[in-house]
Structure 1
Amino acid sequence: MKRRKFIQSSSLLLASTGLASILPLNLFATNKSKADKIRIAAIGINGMGWSDLTALLKDPRAQCIALCDVDQNVLSKRAAELAKKGITVTTTGDYKQILENKDIDAIVIGTPDHWHCKIMVDALAAGKDVYVEKPVGNSIAECNEMIAAQQKYNKVVQVGQWQRSQKHFADAIAYVHSGKLGNIRLVKAWAYQGWMKAIPKVPDSAVPEGVDYNMWLGPATQHPFNKNRFHFDFRWFWDYAGGLMTDWGVHMIDYALLGMKASAPKSIVASGGKFAYPDDASETPDTLTTIYEFEGFNMQWEHATGIDDGPYSRNHGVAFIGNNGTLVLNRQGWEVIPGKDGDKNRIEAVPFQKSVDNGLQLHTKNFLDVIQSRKLEDLNAPIQAGAHVATICQMGNIAYRTGKKIYWDAAKGKFTDSQANKYLAAQYHNGYKMPKV
Structure 2
Amino acid sequence: MDVARWGLQVDYPIQVTAGGGKYRHDDDQETPDTMMVTYDFPDQKSITWEGLSWSPLGPHDSQFGISLHGTEGSIVIRGGGYVQYDMKGQEVATGAGAAGDQDHFDDFLMGVREHRRTNSDIEGAHKSTLLCHLGNIAYRTSGTLKTNGSNGHLVQNAEAESYWSREYAKGWEPKV
Q: 1:366 aligns with which of 94, 107, 111?
A: 107
Unaligned runs of 5+ in 1: 1-252
Query: Residues 307, 409 of structure 1: CA spacing in aligned structure 2 closer, same or farther, 3 A cutoff?
Result: same
What is the match of residue 212 of structure 1?
none
Query: Residue 75 of structure 2 aligns to which amino acid in structure 1?
Result: L
Query: Residues 393, 361 of structure 1: CA spacing in aligned structure 2 closer, same or farther, 3 A cutoff?
Result: closer
Q: 1:419 aligns with which of 135, 143, 159?
A: 159
Query: Residues 316, 400 of structure 1: CA spacing in aligned structure 2 closer, same or farther, 3 A cutoff?
Result: farther
What is the match of residue 403 of structure 1?
142
Q: Would the aligned equivalents of 1:308 and 1:315 in 2 still touch at CA under 8 Å?
A: no
Determine whether 1:265 maps to 2:8. Answer: no
Which structure shows the higher helix fraction?
1
Find the residue that maps to 2:137 and give its secondary structure: helix
- Distance in 1 (CA, whole Å) between partners of 2:150 and 2:5 is 20
- Distance in 1 (CA, whole Å) between partners of 2:27 and 2:86 is 42
- Distance in 1 (CA, whole Å) between partners of 2:124 and 2:34 is 26
What is the match of residue 31 of structure 2?
284
What is the match of residue 197 of structure 1?
none
- Distance in 1 (CA, whole Å) between partners of 2:64 and 2:144 is 25
Determine whether 1:392 maps to 2:139. Answer: no
Cα displacement (A) at 1:330: 2.9
- Distance in 1 (CA, whole Å) between partners of 2:52 and 2:76 is 19
Counterparts of 1:65-144 in structure 2, within 5 Å, are none
Q: Would the aligned equivalents of 2:79 and 2:100 in 1 still touch at CA under 8 Å?
A: no
Cα displacement (A) at 1:257: 0.5
Q: Would the aligned equivalents of 2:38 and 2:47 in 1 still touch at CA under 8 Å?
A: yes
Query: Residue 271 of structure 1 aligns to which amino acid in structure 2?
Result: G
Cα displacement (A) at 1:354: 4.5
- What is the TM-score normalised by the length of structure 1? 0.36
- What is the TM-score normalised by the length of structure 2? 0.83
- Distance in 1 (CA, whole Å) between partners of 2:8 and 2:82 is 17
What is the match of residue 350 of structure 1?
93
Unaligned runs of 5+ in 2: none
Instruction: Give the alignment's Cα RMSD to 1 decimal.
Output: 2.6
Q: Would the aligned equivalents of 2:63 and 2:78 in 1 still touch at CA under 8 Å?
A: no
Find the residue that maps to 2:147 and give its secondary structure: strand
Find the residue that maps to 1:399 and give its secondary structure: helix
Size of the aligned set, in residue pairs, is 173
Find the residue that maps to 2:28 and give its secondary structure: coil
Query: Residues 363, 291 of structure 1: CA spacing in aligned structure 2 closer, same or farther, 3 A cutoff?
Result: closer
Cα displacement (A) at 1:427: 2.5
Percent identity reads 28
Cα displacement (A) at 1:410: 4.4
Counterparts of 1:299-314 in structure 2, within 5 Å, are 299-309=47-57
Which structure shows the higher strand fraction?
2
Query: Residues 303, 368 of structure 1: CA spacing in aligned structure 2 closer, same or farther, 3 A cutoff?
Result: closer
Q: Would the aligned equivalents of 2:80 and 2:99 in 1 still touch at CA under 8 Å?
A: no
- Distance in 1 (CA, whole Å) between partners of 2:53 and 2:103 is 30
- Distance in 1 (CA, whole Å) between partners of 2:36 and 2:173 is 30
Find the residue that maps to 1:369 and give its secondary structure: helix
- Distance in 1 (CA, whole Å) between partners of 2:78 and 2:125 is 19
